[in-house]
Each structure stands twice: as structure tokens, then as C-alpha cells.
Amino acid sequence: MRLLLIEDDELLGDGLRDYLRSVGHVVDWARSLAALAAWRGEVFDAWLVDWQLPDGSGLDWLRAQRERGDSTPALMLTARDLLPDRLRGLDSGADDYLVKPFAPEELVARLRAVCRRSAGSAAALMHFGAVDVDLAARAAWLDGRRAELTAREWAVLEALALRAGRIVAKSELEQLVLGFDAELASNALEVHVSSLRRKLGRGLVETVRGLGYRIGPTT
């Protein structure tokens, strides 16, 4: 998944970025609201938003995004643990609320749950014909045999699975899988899609000419 982490604390931001990357996510880290300008128009699977930022409130930023109609799943990361704060956070458009300190393993699990719910699937295990995809275990099986996927291949599969049934534009998929450096490797996506088809069957990822890619609806 491609994640936007908005966190001003160096120790936590650095630790989370590295941990999330180590488990296969693409992470962009903004240390302030002003820094978010660099990612304007970019597509993310989820936002991780700190409430208190040096130049404003992450909550207000999130509310503004929702008012603009952006429904990217968002997880609030905050030290505010009081019930009214949690309710305020959730009412402002956050899909989940995680009180610091938290274990990064829990953050990853909640991220998966939030993204699954956003994709309309509560279960971690998804089925696409002969292919089974377990988002929690980050694994895929073809006819019951586990396929060995690289991190990038998994990222492509996960991005398409979370958007199952709808066409994902190539540029969007590039951003989700390759992140900020997408433009640097213009043919990288095709390489990963091709590998996926080789490992999980040619029918799994459909190319919609001129529009993008699609994984069929879950079965």
C-alpha cells in the first residue's frame, strides 16, 4: 500500500516509515502540513495523520479533505486519549483512531482493516477465481499453491485487490506501487504486472486498453 504519513516527531516518523517500508508498504513522510504541498494530487491507499502538527491541526486538515470529497482511508495517530477527543477525531472523518504509544504491528493491522473496509470487504481473505489473496498474511495462492511474490509484485496485487472490480489507471497504480519515484521507472509497472500474471495466471490482471488495469470482482 502507498501510505502518506503526516507526523512531526522525528523519532516516531522515522521509525514508522522504516517499519512500514520493511513490511512492504510505500511510505511518504510529511513532517508538517506545509510540506503536504509536495504530494498534492498524489494517490494514496491511506493517510496516517498526527493530530498536533507544528503548523496546525491534522484533524482540521483531514476535515478539509473530507469536505473536498476525498475519501482516502485515514487513521488518526494521537496522544489524545480522552473519549471526547476520540469521538471528535472519528467524527471529523478519520476511519480509525490510534492512541500513542502503540505497537507498529497494531498500526499495520488496523491499516489493513481500514483499507479492507474502504474497499468494501471486511474479510482479509479474498478470492479471484483460482487465486486466493490473504491481505493479512500478505500472501497469494494459485489453485492452493502459494506463489512467491516480491514486495513490488505484492504491492501491485494488493492495490488492485483493494480496488477489485474497478479500473485502476496506470498512473494511479504507479503512484500506489512505486510512490514518489514512479516517474523514474516508466516501464517498471508493466514488468511487475507481467510477473504477477506469470505467477498467478494470465487471467487475474486484466488490461483495459487506454484506461488501466483491473482485477475482477471477488468470487
Partner 1 sequence: MTIKAVSIRARLARALAVWALLWCAALGLAVWLQFSQEVDELLDDSLQSVAEGLIGPLVAQQLTARPPEPEPEPAPGDGRRFVWQVVEGTQVLGSAVGSPAAPLQTTPTPGFSNRPGWRIFGLALGRDSRMLYVAQSREERLEVQLELGFAVVLAAVPVAMLQILWLNWRVRRDLRPLQDLSLRLAHYDPLQPGATLGPAVYEELQPVQAAIDALAARLAQRVARERDFTAHAAHALRTPLAGIDAQLAVALLEAHEPLHGRLQRVRAAAVRLQHVVQSLLALFRSGAEVQRQPIVLADLVARLPLNPKLTPEVSATQPLHADEDLLTAALLNLADNALHHGATGLLFSTPAPGVLRIADDGAGIDAPRRQALQAALDAEDYAGRTGLGLMLAGLVARAHGGRVELPALERGFAVELRLEPPA
- Residues near partner 1 (CB under 8 A): 9-16, 18-19, 22, 52, 77, 79-84, 99-105
Q: Distances from the Cα of 198 to the Cαs of 23, 148, 204, in angstroms?
A: 23, 11, 10
> Least CB distance from residue 8 to partner 1, whole Å?
9
Q: Give whichever of 12 and 125 is closer to partner 1, judged by the CB atom.
A: 12
- CA-nearest of 88, 79, 150, 90 to 114 is 90
Nearest partner of 179 among 26, 22, 7, judged by Cα: 26
- Smallest gap from residue 41 Cβ to partner 1 (A): 29
Task: In angstroms, give the least distance from the CB of 104 to partner 1.
Answer: 5
The span from the first CA to the last CA of the chain, in angstroms, equals 22
Beta carbon nearer to partner 1, 75 or 200: 75
Give yes or no for a contact between 177 and 154, defined as CB atoms under 8 angstroms apart: no
Least Å distance between CB 198 and partner 1?
29
Shortest Å, Cβ 168 to partner 1: 30
Residue among 11 and 37 whose Cβ is closer to partner 1 = 11
Question: Considering beta carbons, is residue 13 or 73 the nearer one to partner 1?
Answer: 13
In the bound complex, what is the minimum distance in angstroms from residue 135's beta carbon to partner 1? 20
> Quick one: which of 127, 121, 163 has its CA closest to 144?
127
**Residue nearer to partner 1 on the CB measure, 18 or 183:** 18
Is the CB of 81 or the CB of 143 nearer to partner 1? Answer: 81
Strand pairing report for 139-142 and 168-169: unpaired
> Alpha carbon of 104 to those of 17, 101, 107, 137, 208: distances in Å?
10, 9, 5, 16, 37
Report in angstroms the alpha-carbon separations of 216 from 43, 129, 133. Answer: 21, 9, 13
